[in-house]
Amino acid sequence: MDILPAERLNDFCDSFQTKFRYFANSNGQVMKMHNFNSGPSILPAEVLTQAAEGIINFNNIGLSILEIGHRTTWFGDVLNEAIALVKELMQLDGQYDVLFLHGGGTTQFMQVPMNLLDDGETAAYCDNGIWGSKAIKEAKLFGNVNVVASSKDKKHSYIPKDFAVPADAKYLHYTTNNTVEGTEWHTIPETTVPLVTDMSSDIFSRPVDFKRFGLIYAGAQKKYGNSRCNACCDKKRPVG
């Protein structure tokens, strides 16, 4: 079957309103398709090769990484390396723990207040988009919620700057990057209460003083591994 030139292939992609693009070398030969949709990005060939080798024969132990037990030293080394790399990127020391949990970031909407908010206690929340709204809904099942900042009046098109957090709040929760609405916090709120934040879509996108937070959670499908920033990259984001 004849292979179409990159220009023809890109026209074909456009007809389906996708963000895939083919790149060609100087001879016009198609070299690689790139994915510019939100979600998974393109990986270097050497990374794909190493991953493929691990599926066949992980670190030359004679077994696939899919065939070793989660309690083995082999897998323990993989997990410990992942934790060490996260701490290195976030410049965190032994006072901090890194947990890999099931359920993605959305499950933490429930687990955060379940663990941190008792009956009769109040947590402060920022409502700046769909993810913050979902977190507020879950938190109300476990305690009182004080929405101290909201951009709902303008369809979540901005980040509130002037708001007060009660000193007796158990914590302040906010979403750093609102992927659906296209707004992002560029500063960390000043408050005396512990900060809890959903950093699913921008956790490793820039240097941050992570030690200022009491708890950070993030869905692994967005900013870890082969994933990249979400659809908000296509929108104009006001400085918060």
Q: Cβ neighbours of residue 202 under 8 Å, at least 6 residues apart?
A: 176, 177, 184, 223, 229
Among the options 170, 185, 202, 222, which is catalytic? 222
Q: List the catalytic residue out of 131, 170, 185, 202.
A: 131
From first CA to last CA, the distance across the chain in angstroms is: 52
Q: How far is CA 70 from CA 54, 198, 219, 225, 235, in A?
A: 15, 28, 21, 20, 41
Residue 94, Cα to own-chain centre: how many angstroms?
23
What distance lies between CA 36 and its chain's CA centroid?
A: 17
Residue 152 annotated among the catalytic residues of the structure: no
Catalytic site residue from 170, 185, 198, 202: 198
Cβ neighbour number for residue 65 with a 10 Å cutoff: 17
Q: Compute how many other C-beta atoms are within 10 angstroms of the C-beta atom of residue 22.
A: 19
222 as an active site residue: the answer is yes
Is 14 an annotated catalytic residue? no
> Are 166 and 122 contacting, i.e. CB atoms less than 8 angstroms apart?
yes
Bridge-based pairing state of the strands 20-24 and 30-35: antiparallel
By annotation, the residues acting in catalysis are: 131, 198, 222
